[in-house]
Amino acid sequence: MARKYFGTDGVRGKVGEFPITPDFVMKLGWAAGKVLSKKGTKKVLIGKDTRISGYMLEAALEAGLSAAGLKATLLGPMPTPAVAYLTRTFRAEAGIVISASHNPFYDNGIKFFSADGTKLPDEVEEAIEDMLDHDLECVESALLGKAVRIDDAAGRYIEFCKSTFPSLLNLDGLRLVVDCGHGATYHIAPSVFRELGAEVIAIGCEPNGLNINDGVGSTAPDALAAKVLECKADLGIAFDGDGDRVVMVDSTGYIIDGDEILYIIARDALRNGRLKGGVVGTLMANMGLELALQTLGIPFARAKVGDRYVLEMMEQKGWRIGGENSGHIICLDQTTTGDGIVAALQVLGAMRAAEMPLSKLRSGMSKFPQILINVRYGEGQDPLSCQAVHDEVSKVEQELAGRGRVLLRKSGTEPLIRVMVEGEHEEQVRSMAQRIAEQVKSAI
């Protein structure tokens, strides 16, 4: 079934343009309420990141849910994985997150969690889309849903995060720089690490509604690297706007991405006997990760890009560790979805257990140079169908001779063609990626 509204991660777009308008989001809340209301609690949790548009969209969702006869339980600014966790603990019908994750402030989106704290299956999203084609019908006045606010939501989630760190270990003596990207973790992440004993230097913790992901956070880790060096910190941790992604920086200023985080977590799980199966990455995962895991005897599989596809493959295989090189890490032994704070805590736990600095802990994996170029395209255009693009890809693959990869794909969240070339020699790889990107641009 072709999707009209849902992408790879909910409904997303520019605020004020369809479908991120107050009227549509109100109806989306109503439609979701009608489809998801099964447990009888009539309770739906709503969390949001720090974008200014969150106030407007929260009110619209509240109205739609009320019209469907459901209670809106408002969490305020809250990381996406916190909403997943709290949806389970409150026994709610569903959880809703108002966020566009790593995108600029003028974008926003609506994504949903089931009562189990997992992303909605395709068939449920399709049922919501089908309900959107019906006229909105308000329940009788006596059956309208109320709205309540949970004041201790942040504290509950902080305690959960701390519970995922090994109970016999602590972070005493560690100096950490924590960059929250002016996003939803700003009032949570620093407290988690401080309460476990670390000295925390916080940056990106002053959201104003417009500065989310602006020059800070996991999408701009150079700011974190500079602060780590300036403060002579042991390491740095950066989250994206809604807290489901993390990148780290060691004491030398080296930026550690999701592939290296996966390697560290998997190797630690193997060392202490907790590894179940292997590791799921994506088509974008670096060949260096695959080779490093192979050396350890850990199986590795690639899913399509998108955390929902990583999770699907993890569940199919019964594996517990997976993620994307963007820093979206899923540890199913700990929680049900990608969680930046939880993933960072697993790395810190591995550091403490091995008594190694982060720079040494990551040294078992060597990344291949990987060049990614984004090419924006317009509505109705399909540059990937151009024969000249395919011909150039074939030429590059022949030149790589099996010692690298080429990947072209459309972004699931933005009108971008992502051109990725990976190989042993950076200058060669960069030139190849630019050649393919030029062909894509010529096809637009």
- In the chain, the amino acid numbered 396 is V
Angle (CA) 380-381-386 rounded to 5° is 145
Say whether 244 counts as a known binding-site residue. yes
Residue 215 region by backbone torsions, left for phi larger than 0, else alpha for psi between -120 and 50, else beta: left
How many residues appear in the chain?
A: 444
Three-state DSSP at 316 gives: helix
Say whether 382 counts as a known binding-site residue. no
In the block, residue with structure tokens 């003028």? 106
d(CA 304, CA 309): 6
Catalytic residues: 101
Say whether 101 counts as a known binding-site residue. yes
Q: How far apart are the first and last CA of the chain?
A: 27
Strands across the sheet containing 300-303? 300-303, 279-282, 321-323, 329-331
User: Strand 199-203 vs strand 175-179: parallel, antiparallel, or unpaired?
Assistant: parallel
d(CA 108, CA 310): 23
Say whether 234 counts as a known binding-site residue. no
- Of 282, 259, 265, which is closest to residue 332 (Cα–Cα)? 265
Annotated binding-site residue numbers: 101, 240, 242, 244
Annotated binding-site residue numbers for Mg(2+): 101, 240, 242, 244
